[in-house]
Each structure stands twice: as structure tokens, then as C-alpha cells.
Structure 1
Amino acid sequence: MRLIFMTSLTMIAFAVNSILNRLAVDSEIIDPSSFAMVRVGSGALVLWVILNVKSSESLTFEKAQFLGALSLAAYIISFSLAYATLDAGLGALILFGTVQISIFGWSALWGTRPSMLQICGAGLAFIGLLIALWPADNKISNMSGVWLMIIAGIGWACYTIIGKTAKDPLVTTTATFVIATPIVTVFFLNGEIFMTQFGVIAALFSGAVTSAFGYMLWYSVLPQLKSVTASVVQLSVPIIAIVAGSLLLDEAVTGTIIISVFLVLGGILIAIISPKIKVDHL
């Protein structure tokens, strides 16, 4: 029960990141580059403070953490830029659809081979997402946003895969954020900077709360999840984003959306309860 609660809380944090980023950038209260820099910087600061206050472990930097930081930086940079042209629901669909495909591919080659039930569950969940957003009122006018979100999805998939080996979630998450901060800052160093008070608040909340705590929670539950399950469960994020968008942004929830929710949740349930398969690619 605790694992289900922690995983659900993490998925909500992921969805809030999508909503905050899209809302802030689309409302032009902050530019994408500033949002990304404030987000990763505030996340690193909060995690560093928590590590020094709550943990006896010291901050260490290992090879896996550098790889995780590169993956995190690629995700945050692409994620922020993509939401300049994509809406929250469509962006989340592309992001976590890419994550699912990437982790499924990795699992098939190097990890736990997906069972037929897991494949069917993932397929059912993905169909549910397509139903929710197709035909979409949001026409994709700029394909660069799509490609950027695909890059973000690959980056997040790598971050997720690397996280399965994390021994201490707090130390590992802090290290990846600390390393990723200068990478993101240097990338946007010559970019156009624009921010308002509310834009900074949105970015700070995204970094210090939903990213710092959300990713720490994610790294704490990952070792307890099969790779395939970890990929499929993230397909709930676009649905959460759609529902939250309806409640917070006054977006309509149609019968199609309701059907898609049942399909996604049903697919996730099938993938989670399916029997284990022997690992034959380690």
C-alpha cells in the first residue's frame, strides 16, 4: 500500500511540473530558459539543504550520477523549450509515450523481458492516451516542440533506468541536480531572459517541491518496481494533467476523456499484476 501511495504521489508531482511549465511559459510570465534554470537551481539547493540537515551521508559524485545528471539536464532543457509550443496534455503524451517506448526497448534488450500481458497492458494504456488527445483541438504548428519533447522523453527514460541502481535516493538525487545545474545554466547562458514575480514563483515551486521531492520519491520507489512497470505507470501522468487542467484551468472534460482514463488505468493495472518473467538479458 505504501508503494502505491508513494508512486501515485510521484505521478501527481510529474503532472504538476507539466502544468506549471506550460502555464508559466504560455502566459509569458517567464521565458523557457529562465524557468529551466530556476527550476533546476532551486531543486539542487533544497535537496542540498535537506541532505545536510537530515542525512549523515555526505554528497558524493560517482559515474552513474554524472550520467544521471546529463540525462536530467537533457530532460529539463528540452522539456522547458518544448512547452513554448505544446499544450500540457499533448506534451505529456509525447513525453511519457517516448519514455514507455525507450524503457520497453531497454528492458527487452538488457533487462526484464516484457511479458505478453505487460505488452498488452502498455498497449491498452497508450490507446487510452491516443483516444484522449485524438482528434485534438490543438494542432501542432511547430514540429520542433515535438522533437524537443521526444528528446526530453529519452532523457527522462535514461534518468529512470539509472535510478534503479540508486543506493541512497537523497544523495543520488541531490548529486544529479547539483551537477545538472551548471549544465543547464551554461546551455542557456546567452539566451533571452525574461521573468516576472509569478513566473519565478512557479519555477521555484516546480524545482523546490514537485521536482526535488518528486524525483527523490521516484528514486526511492524505482528499485521496488520492474522496469516495464516503471514505464507503464508513468502513462498516468498525461491523464492526471488533463484532469488537473480541467479543475485548475477550466478545461472541458468530455466523455472521451473519461473513457481514456479507464483504459489507461486498466492498462496500468494489467501491466502491474502480470506475472514475472525470468531475466535473461543481464
Structure 2
Amino acid sequence: MSSTRLVCMTTLALIAFAANSLLCRAALADGSIDAASFTSIRLLAGAAVLWLIVRIRAGSAAGQGNWLSALALFAYAAGFSFAYLELSTATGALLLFGAVQSTMIGYGLYRGERLRVPQLGGLLLAIGGLVGLLLPGISAPPPLASALMLGAGMAWGIYSLRGKGTGDPLQVTAGNFLRAVPIALILSVAMLGDLSLQHSAGIAYAIASGALASGLGYAVWYSALPALKATTAASMQLSVPVIAALGGVVLLAEPLSLRLLLASLAILGGIALVILTGKQASPTSR
């Protein structure tokens, strides 16, 4: 793969990951769709596109996903949607990313990995940034929505950890998306009283989030991933909350508070220290 093509594919994938936050917030901010319906439509559209890609590519049959991973995927998607009923794009993306990376790092520590001094400093800095962001105050994000997004990040971290070494990542992801759809539909039925499909724009945003930002985004990312070093892939994902924040400011006219800016520097800078000063780093995607 040429370096130009690799850069283009990687950039496109990172923009797609950030677009999930923008699309979800845009759809839910004005009540054009309810969170449960957004989750179901997103997963259904993502499953359809991923299944189609896998069929066209005719890859190996190894790794078809499993129900536990599908449950983690659903928990991420549902928590993500309900959190964005109240969170700004930037805050949600930052909390999600921080929770994903903290879960991955925490699991490594549980398995006996040891952090170097710079890594430990980075971890403490990132935790301090999260605490500073969530401390009560005028500019603090809503606590329940924040907890939902942190839970979504933990679920995606678990999903990523479960997916290591289970076969073709794109095929596994397609299988998990297919399994997550009926779980999401059960949620939609349970919350039928909150059904809101007032505008076609909400449905379009959900389809775009599933088909383009998720389905095609993962396909492009997994195509580029083998050509990237682990540390490069992991560190490049630090740009996703930044892209989402800029998109929220430019496209959705969201304010960027000083608290959020300082917390972003602490969280992203701390995680960068952990990744770049470690012996190994494992790339994850959202």
C-alpha cells in the first residue's frame, strides 16, 4: 500500500469515528429521533453494510462473532445514544475515549503489566483530567449522561479486548453487529412509549452513523491497520475526540469551555504518555 493511500485511508477512518458523535448529537439534540430508535437503526445499518462488505470480499470463515461481544457492542451503542441526549459532542467524545483507553490500560494492569514512571504519570494526569471535567460546577456535564457515556466507553473497551485474536476483525465485527440488532430491537420495543420519529433527518443521521461512520469506517480502518505500527495506530486515535470537538463547534455551534479544553489536554496528553512511552501499545477503534 502506498504511503499516500495509507494516509488517506487512515484519515478517512478517523473522521468516520468522530462523525459518529456528530451524527448522534445532531439527531438527538432537536428530538427528531429517540435514543432507542437511533441505536436500533444504527446497528441495523452497520450490520447490513458490514455483511455486504464481507460477502463481496469473500474472506475466510474464521471468526463470526459471539453473543457476549454483541452484548458489549449493544451496551456501547445504547449508552452512547442515551448519553448524547444531554452531552455536547466534544464532552461525549472525550469521556468515551477516556473510558475506552482506561479500560484497556486497567485490564493490562490486571493481567500483570507494569507501567514505567512516565506511563504512571500519564495515567494519573488522564485520571485527573476526567475528575476535573466531572467535578460539580456550572460547566460540569450532566452526571447521569456522563455516567452513561463512561459506561459506553467501558463496554467498547471490553468489546475491543474480547476481539483480540478471534479471527478476521471485519468479519467478527459484522457477526457481532448482526447479533446486536435483535437486542437493540428489544430495547426499542421496551421503550415504545418514548418513540419519536418526527423528522426524516433523524432516521437519515442514524443510517449514516451505522452504514458510513461505523460500517465503512471500520472497513477502511481494518484495511489500513496492518500497515500501521501499533503505537502509531493507537496514538493517531488521540485525534478522534479533537476532530469531534471541532466538528461540534463548527457544524453544531457548540461552545468550547475552558474546563473542557483543560480536561482535554490532560486526558489526551496523559493517554499519549501511556501509549508512546510504553513498550507496546494495542490499537482500538470506536
Name the TM tier (shorter chain).
Answer: 0.7 to 0.9
Q: For the Cα contact (< 8 Å) 1:125–1:235, is it kept in 2?
A: no
Identity %: 37
Residues 26, 205 of structure 1: alpha-carbon distance in 2 compared, 3 angstrom cutoff: same
2:152 maps to what in 1? 152
CA distance in 2, matches of 1:118, 1:233: 18
Residues 260, 97 of structure 1: alpha-carbon distance in 2 compared, 3 angstrom cutoff: closer
Give the C-alpha shift of residue 264 in structure 1. 6.1
Unmatched runs of 5 consecutive residues or more in structure 1: 278-282
Residues 35, 268 of structure 1: alpha-carbon distance in 2 compared, 3 angstrom cutoff: same
Of 17, 22, 28 in structure 1, the residue corresponding to residue 20 of structure 2 is 17
2:89 maps to what in 1? 88
- One-letter code of the match for 1:50? I
2:246 maps to what in 1? 243
- One-letter code of the match for 1:188? S
Give the paired residue count: 273
Give the C-alpha shift of residue 150 in structure 1. 2.1
Unmatched runs of 5 consecutive residues or more in structure 2: 281-286
Residues 245, 271 of structure 1: alpha-carbon distance in 2 compared, 3 angstrom cutoff: same
Residues 189, 177 of structure 1: alpha-carbon distance in 2 compared, 3 angstrom cutoff: same
Deviation digits for residues 119-174 of structure 1 (CA, Å, limit 9, x no counterpart): 33445556667788989764445x33222222211111111212332431221111
TM-score of the superposed pair, with normalisation by structure 2: 0.78
Q: For the Cα contact (< 8 Å) 1:10–1:217, is it kept in 2?
A: yes
Q: How does 1:132-211 map to 2 (within 5 A)?
A: 138-141=139-142, 143-192=143-192, 193-195=195-197, 196-211=199-214
CA distance in 1, matches of 2:238, 2:126: 7
Residues 109, 128 of structure 1: alpha-carbon distance in 2 compared, 3 angstrom cutoff: closer
1:33 maps to what in 2? 36
- One-letter code of the match for 1:38? I
Give the C-alpha shift of residue 72 in structure 1. 0.4
Residues 271, 8 of structure 1: alpha-carbon distance in 2 compared, 3 angstrom cutoff: farther
CA distance in 1, matches of 2:176, 2:278: 33
Residues 122, 13 of structure 1: alpha-carbon distance in 2 compared, 3 angstrom cutoff: farther
CA distance in 2, matches of 1:263, 1:79: 22
CA distance in 1, matches of 2:243, 2:40: 25
Deviation digits for residues 79-125 of structure 1 (CA, Å, limit 9, x no counterpart): 11111122222222222222222111101122643333333344555
CA distance in 2, matches of 1:138, 1:60: 45
User: Counterpart of 1:189 in 2: which secondary structure?
Assistant: helix
User: Counterpart of 1:71 in 2: which secondary structure?
Assistant: helix
CA distance in 2, matches of 1:240, 1:134: 24
Residues 56, 266 of structure 1: alpha-carbon distance in 2 compared, 3 angstrom cutoff: closer
CA distance in 2, matches of 1:60, 1:129: 36
TM-score of the superposed pair, with normalisation by structure 1: 0.79
CA distance in 2, matches of 1:239, 1:136: 23
2:79 maps to what in 1? 78
Give the C-alpha shift of residue 258 in structure 1. 7.0
**Larger displacement relative to structure 2 (17-26 or 113-122):** 113-122
Give the C-alpha shift of residue 5 in structure 1. 6.4
